[in-house]
Structure 1
Amino acid sequence: MEPAVFIILLNWNGKEDTLACLGSLQRLDYPSYRILVADNGSMDGSVEAIRSAFPGVRVVENGANLGFAGGNNIAIRQALQDGADYVLLLNNDTEADPGFLSRLVEAAESDPNIGIAGSKIYYYSEPKRLWYAGGSVNLWKGDTHHIGENQLDGGQYDEAKDTDYVSGCAMLIKRQVIEDIGLLDERMFLYYEDSDYCMRARQQGYRVVYIPSSIVWHKVSGTTGKIKDLQLFYGTRNMLLFEKRNAGLPKLLVFLPYYFGKFIAYNAVVALVQGQTARARVILKAAYEGLVR
């Protein structure tokens, strides 16, 4: 019997994207999956529309915007309680190739040490332009970035391989990993949760792998693209949280002057010079919270 996979979509006022994503998942060729939609207190009629269009999909109503980590964690707990062998986190603003889940499970089942597997991800608006083809982490500078981003796919990233992190846009996680290292870090709310989770898994000896035969298309920034201050705050704050947890003392001692000097002070001064006082306050508040949390 095939392992049971629970696909989790997190929705926050993204009704049309979520309905389109659910439509694409109806075409999957994998025989043993269920879908949970975790709704973060949407006010756009999402819950009613999803239940009407897809009565077989379970909607978990979180009642408030708990962020990426908090919203997904509730659904992950439910999936484990219902017998999931794997949990797949999938952005609601994606559409999936029919074979994407089969390829991920096949890879994960090939080696008991593989704990997390991720897809090759394209821009939805440009179906052959890459958004993610592996993840790279530089703990000396706090940099995490997608390998291959914005490149046209000419087969240059068609080799399955270990990678520093898998994007939470399409992340398959073995049950054993969750039982060993726990859930996503809810302090982060938004951004760096996926990188942090993969780092924690790797520290416990699990492999994190990129599987290019598994394909997803992403409508980039479908949810957060409209909320620039939110992006700035959590991206800035969580960079420091991520480093404090994962870097180790030597790398942290190199990172901190870079972060507070070049990243915080420079960007705050530039914002003030440009008359963007509110932006400068967001940067400084993010740095303070990252330091004290």
Structure 2
Amino acid sequence: MCLNNPTGKMAQVSVIVVNYNSGNLLATCLSSVYQSPVAQEIIVVDNGSIDHSSDVIKKNRNLSGVKLIRNSRNLGFSSAVNMGVSISTKEYLLILNPDCVIRPHALERMVLILEQNSDAGVVGGLVLDFFGAEQAGCRRRDPNLERSIGKFAKEWIPKIPVPSIDMTHLPLPKSELPVDAISGSFFLVRRRIFDAVGGLDEGYFLHFEDLDFCRKVRESGSLVLFSPRACAFHQKGASGGVTTRKIARYKYLGFKRYFKNYPPDGLLATVLLATLSRIMFCVQLSTSVFQEGKTANRHAHPTIPLPLISSHSQIMVLGGRCDLGEFLLTRLSACGYDIIATSRSPEKCPIIPRVQWINPEFLTNVPVADYPKFSRLFSLLPLWEIQKYSELLTNPDLSSVHVFSSSSILSKASSKVPTEKSLVRALVASEDWFLKQMKKSRVAGKVLRPTMIYGGRYNRNINKIKAIAKYLRIFPLVDEATGQRQPVHADDIAEFCITALREPKSEDFSEPALISGGEVLDFSQMISQVIHHTSGQPRLINAPAELLRFALRLLSYLPGQKNMTAAIVDRTQQNLVYPDEIHLPPRLFSPRRFYP
């Protein structure tokens, strides 16, 4: 039976999906396949699921063309794939896990790669976790003793510089790259190659069958290619009912079978590999004891990254894991906006309704065509980092961009400290670059220069003063600390951003604007208020300026304290209020008085 997708095109690809208790992920996976412009037949092999996940095929009219094979028990991944292939009819075979969501053009790109590379038999894509970071395993080397030890070590010490099977630590290539192996969760293979090597080895139940298959393909004379241009999201090990203890056992048995099929050279290497396999199994088994009864990787967070594949416009926030970010994201969510926010540690970020956290490497790794759809952009990153994401500024749907510079560009303009001079140069160059880009693209762009930001749990100014005072029970202050300050609360800036979304055309985008608080006070007054709101009521003491300069010089030599320079003492006497600079108009920004 020849099945076409809803576009009515002649099928070229047979998609084989092995399902085992995958819940709602299966329906999302199949729907993403149907978004491809390449026509296909879809075959789902259900390995004895008890969660009724495969029932979605009968219930959903859009999936009525899917062929379904139901097994009475779990036969293992390899056997189920071979079973699906046996009833398929097309020239190309896409092996796809049910916990994968593929990008619309991924399948088309993979077919094109094989058509343009006659010596290639298999192509695997860039497999991303649900935060958008590259998953280990989508480009690999053949396992051997040294690499197996390295992979085991990296599970405990990720940054240890030892050889490993995975190539994730290497820079992502710009185009297709021959590799030893790709991920079994998402790869395209020519039917004749699949048949020639005898399909997947059914001696593997789960794990290592993809490494074995790729090695057989290469030994048959064909290349295995990795393509960074074909992307899929993958929630690793999402099948329900597979405990960590079972997974440890499957890995152990797969490891043994692989090195039985491809034995190492020499008796010593054989003995060491056998010993390593037992050590790995015991460690994984011991770990599973603490997770007894839990299924592997069955987390509520992250969820399926639907905003990354959505067709409706959203708001992009770069660098959302900061005080301003948390206030801004909360306000945007409350106003009903859908948001994509970046953080290098998305797994540590708060769960906020309507917010999809992603790793920023997603934006530097995937093709521009696979970027999520968005029309407004806020960058809370250090301004010079926006250049890494310059492709975002060319988005044809983009209508406004707000980026944050710093009032340090004014306060440290005449500094003689090398690091501060370097900071000012970087800010000036970055502001100029950004405004030129906005003028070139004819997009409304605004550079905001906030004064000292306070409020929240991340800020390094007010919170550091509180921490020092609380620990020492005193806080030293220079006698002449009369320099004026105008600190601004992070939530007030977030409120302005919401206002700016509603009136993007009412602003003057030609020059940077200062964004400052609603109260001007001198440095000693500001410190007094901070100390007043610090638990334990520490005492303020006056100290000679030279003594404080000397103490700060010593402190700057400690790890992480290089910014604690003697120039800080001088700035306590410097006015950091700038009435002559461009400010935001009162109708758009009404900040609160200082309240730490």
TM value normalised by structure 2: 0.41
Matched AA of 2:238: G
3-state secondary structure, aligned to 2:123: strand
Of residues 245, 269, 282 in structure 2, which corresponds to 1:255? 269
- Please list the CA deviations of residues 15-74 of structure 1 after superposition, one character each: whole Å capped at 9, or x if unmatched: 3110111121121122x3111111111122223222211111111112211111111110
- What's 2:68 paired with? 59
3-state secondary structure, aligned to 1:130: coil
Kindly indicate whether the alpha-carbon contact (under 8 Å) linking 2:179 and 2:224 is maintained by their aligned counterparts in 1: yes
Measured on the aligned residues, the alpha-carbon RMSD in Å equals: 2.7
In the alignment, structure 1 residue 91 sits paired with structure 2 residue 115: no
* Structure 1 stretch displaced more, 96-105 or 237-246: 237-246
Matched AA of 1:147: M
Q: Partners of 1:216 and 1:225 in 2: how far apart?
A: 24
| Structure 2: gaps spanning 5 or more residues | 1-8, 149-163, 293-596
Kindly indicate whether the alpha-carbon contact (under 8 Å) linking 1:3 and 1:86 is maintained by their aligned counterparts in 2: no
Matched AA of 1:113: D
* Structure 1 stretch displaced more, 186-195 or 107-116: 107-116
Matched AA of 2:104: P
In the alignment, structure 1 residue 34 sits paired with structure 2 residue 38: no
- What's 1:244 paired with? 260
Q: Shift of residue 111 of structure 1?
A: 2.1
Matched AA of 2:275: G
- What's 2:107 paired with? 101
Kindly indicate whether the alpha-carbon contact (under 8 Å) linking 1:165 and 1:198 is maintained by their aligned counterparts in 2: yes
Kindly indicate whether the alpha-carbon contact (under 8 Å) linking 2:126 and 2:226 is maintained by their aligned counterparts in 1: yes
Q: Shift of residue 227 of structure 1?
A: 1.1
Q: Partners of 1:23 and 1:270 in 2: how far apart?
A: 35
Q: Partners of 2:168 and 2:283 in 1: how far apart?
A: 32
Q: Partners of 1:233 and 1:270 in 2: how far apart?
A: 9
Q: Partners of 2:280 and 2:122 in 1: how far apart?
A: 37
Kindly indicate whether the alpha-carbon contact (under 8 Å) linking 2:33 and 2:104 is maintained by their aligned counterparts in 1: yes
Kindly indicate whether the alpha-carbon contact (under 8 Å) linking 1:121 and 1:131 is maintained by their aligned counterparts in 2: yes
Matched AA of 1:95: V
1:271–1:186 distance in 2 versus 1, CA, 3 Å? closer
Kindly indicate whether the alpha-carbon contact (under 8 Å) linking 1:224 and 1:231 is maintained by their aligned counterparts in 2: no
- Please list the CA deviations of residues 91-132 of structure 1 after superposition, one character each: whole Å capped at 9, or x if unmatched: 1001010000011111111122211110001111x12x1114
3-state secondary structure, aligned to 1:220: coil
Q: Shift of residue 271 of structure 1?
A: 7.1
In the alignment, structure 1 residue 164 sits paired with structure 2 residue 169: no
| Structure 1: gaps spanning 5 or more residues | 280-293
In the alignment, structure 1 residue 140 sits paired with structure 2 residue 149: no
Larger Cα Rg: Structure 1 or Structure 2?
Answer: 2
Of residues 235, 239, 244 in structure 2, which corresponds to 1:219? 235
3-state secondary structure, aligned to 1:138: coil
1:230–1:114 distance in 2 versus 1, CA, 3 Å? same
3-state secondary structure, aligned to 1:146: coil
1:43–1:261 distance in 2 versus 1, CA, 3 Å? closer
Greater strand content: 1
Kindly indicate whether the alpha-carbon contact (under 8 Å) linking 1:12 and 1:41 is maintained by their aligned counterparts in 2: yes
1:178–1:52 distance in 2 versus 1, CA, 3 Å? same
Kindly indicate whether the alpha-carbon contact (under 8 Å) linking 2:44 and 2:68 is maintained by their aligned counterparts in 1: yes
Matched AA of 2:168: G
3-state secondary structure, aligned to 2:229: strand
Q: Partners of 2:209 and 2:59 in 1: how far apart?
A: 32
Of residues 111, 122, 126 in structure 1, which corresponds to 2:117? 111
- What's 2:134 paired with? 130
- What's 1:283 paired with? none
Matched AA of 1:12: Y
- Please list the CA deviations of residues 172-194 of structure 1 after superposition, one character each: whole Å capped at 9, or x if unmatched: 11011122111211111100000
Q: Give the count of matched residue pairs.
A: 263
Kindly indicate whether the alpha-carbon contact (under 8 Å) linking 2:44 and 2:67 is maintained by their aligned counterparts in 1: yes
3-state secondary structure, aligned to 2:233: strand
